[in-house]
Structure 1
Amino acid sequence: MIATLNRLTDHVEDHLADDLDIAGFARGHGTTEYHLRRMFSALAGMPLSEYVRRRRMTVAAADVLGDDELLGIAVRHGYGSTEAFARAFRAVHGAGPGDVRRDGGSLRTQPKLRFRLTVEGSTPMDTRITDRPAFRLIGHAARVPLIHEGVNPHIQAHIASLPVEEHSRLKELSATEPAGLLQVSADVDPDYLEGTPLTYLHGVAVSEGSPAPEGLDVIDVAAGQWAVFRAVGDYPAVLQETWAATAADWFPSNPWRLRPGPSIVAVLDRSPDFSTATCELWLPVERTSPGAAPRRGADAGL
């Protein structure tokens, strides 16, 4: 996977002015666009689309400081109008191309990314692979923004709005793995861009086709394999660290990739104030083809 990400940054450099066919690139390298975008975002700390825009505007800045017409520069860098180019330029550099040409000013540079593996004595990840038939997730759903670190106040508010007795009622409805009350994130942006909306469901898992009691939302989950990561420690920090480690350590070292589907957190145990917890993070996965197995010794991390 790390070698593929480095080939991707080379591909971006070669096609900065083109419409990038990320799906085609992914197929040609034995993976999927969904997995590629999720791994890039997790390791680079920014979505692939944002990295492409920053690289384009880094290269474009040199042209803006020259004498060419701004429309010609915009077209050269893949924009159909000076207005669209100016919006992208301002978003990266904090000033429009006309202002920079007239007044000068500091320009922000996005270096080309290279992904490298730092081998250290890291703690082994407690992981299992399980093959699950189709099932349903039932509970109370809400649209909330994605937040990478710390407690998500929108999710907190959603859960707090539920009557106390509703948590017990939901737990009694749990009928299959993942067991117990679940925290479900679905319809997540493939680039994992902070602030983008996702569907959060507070609920439980039941067998495929089980009727949902009135007033509960339903997410149907297809049959497939899941990687289950056990996390123990300060909550929610340990859960967020585990999710980051799946991208930095586990996926580059194992012949599995993410497939579309919800991510699920099962809270197995918790302190009374929920400051610490034992959790399981369930991620939908599929085995990579033999020819696309990760290369041992390639670089992982930035």
Structure 2
Amino acid sequence: MIGTLNRIVERIELDLTEVVDVAAFAAGLGTTEYHVRRMFSSLAGMPLSEYVRRRRMTVAAADLLGEGSLLDIAVRYGYGSTEAFNRAFRAVHGVSPADVRRDGGPLRSQPQLRFRLTVEGNSPMDTRISDRPAFRLVGHAARVPLVHQGANPHIQAHIASIPMEEHARLKGLGDTEPAGLLQVSADVDPDYEEGSELTYLHGVAVRAETSVADDLDAIEVPAGEWAVFRMSGPYPAALQETWAATATDWFPSNPWRLRPGPSIVAVLERSADFSTATCELWLPVERAQKV
């Protein structure tokens, strides 16, 4: 996976004025656009689309110091107007193209990324692959914005709005794995861009044939394989560390890739104050193709 990401970065650099067909390029490397975008975002700390924008505006800054018109430069980098180009340029550099043309700066350059895998081998991950038939996730869902750092207040507010007796009712409905009350994130932007909306469901897993009440939201989950990561320790720190390690350690070292589908956190045990917990992180995967 590390080599794939570096090859995509190199392809982008060949011509920053051209729109790269990430799906076709990923397929040629034996992987998928979905997996590439999720791994890029996790490892680079920014969406692939944002990296391309930053690199374009870095190179465009040099063009501004030449003789071309602002409109010509805007069109060269894929913008239909100087206004759209100005907005993108200011978002990266904090100043307008006119300021740079007049004063020469200040500029915030985005260097070309290089991905490297550091293997230490001192943090084994408790992982299993589970081949599951189709099932459903049922509970109470809400559309919330994606928050990268810290607790998501929108998710916290959603859970707080659910009556305590409803938690017990939901727990009694679950009849298949993943077990227990679940924290489900679905319809997540493949770029994992902060502020983009996702569907968050607080609920349980039931077999496909299980009937449930009409007042519950449901997410249909097709049959497929899942990578299940188990962790215990301070909550939510241990869970967040495991999330990060799936991208930095596990996927680059194993013949699996992410496939579209919900990510699921099952809280198996917890302390009374929820300061520590034992959890399972379920991620939908498929075997990576060999090229």
TM-score relative to the length of structure 2: 0.98
Q: Is the 8 A contact 1:149 1:237 kept in 2?
A: no
- In structure 2, C-alpha distance between the alignment counterparts of 1:2 and 1:245, rounded to whole Å: 14
Residue 170 to residue 201, structure 1, CA distance change in 2 (3 Å): same
* Distance (Å, rounded) in 2 between the aligned partners of 1:150 and 1:79: 35
Residue 210 (structure 1) aligned with residue 210 (structure 2): yes
Q: CA RMSD in A?
A: 1.0
Shift of 1:227: 0.2
- 1:267–1:277: 8 Å Cα contact kept in structure 2? yes
Moved more, 93-102 or 262-271: 93-102
| Superposed structure 1 runs of 4+ greater than 3 Å apart | none
TM-score, structure 1 as length reference: 0.94
Deviations 1:100-156 (A, max 9, x none): 212343100000000011222431000000100000000000111111222111111
CA distance in 1, matches of 2:46, 2:156: 25
Deviation at 1:62, TM superposition (A): 0.5
Task: Give the Cα separation in 1 of the matches to 2:233 and 2:194.
Answer: 24
More moved, 196-205 vs 81-90: 81-90
SS of alignment partner, residue 156 of structure 1: helix
Within 5 Å, which residues of 2 pair with 1:1-302? Answer: 1-291=1-291
User: Separation in 2 of the partners of 1:39 and 1:104?
Assistant: 36
% identical equivalent positions: 76
Contact (CA 8 Å) 2:127, 2:229: kept in 1 or not?
Answer: yes
Which residue of structure 2 aligns with residue 297 of structure 1? none
Q: Within 1, Cα distance between the matches of 2:134 and 2:165?
A: 28
Residue 195 of structure 1 deviates from its aligned partner by 1.5
Task: Check whether the contact 1:12–1:20 (CA below 8 A) recurs between aligned residues.
Answer: yes
CA distance in 1, matches of 2:122, 2:56: 36
- Report Cα offsets for 1:37-72 as digits up to 9, x if no partner: 000000000000000000000000011122221111
The separation in 1 between residues aligned to 2:29 and 2:269, in whole angstroms, is 41
SS in structure 2 opposite 1:106?
Answer: coil
Q: Give the corresponding residue for 1:299.
A: none
Please tell me the residue identity of whatever aligns with 2:51: Y
Q: Give the Cα–Cα distance (whole angstroms) in 2 for the partners of residues 17 and 211 of structure 1.
A: 53
Paired amino acid for 1:64:
L
Which segment is superposed worse, 204-213 or 52-61?
Answer: 204-213
The secondary structure found in structure 2 opposite 1:290 is coil
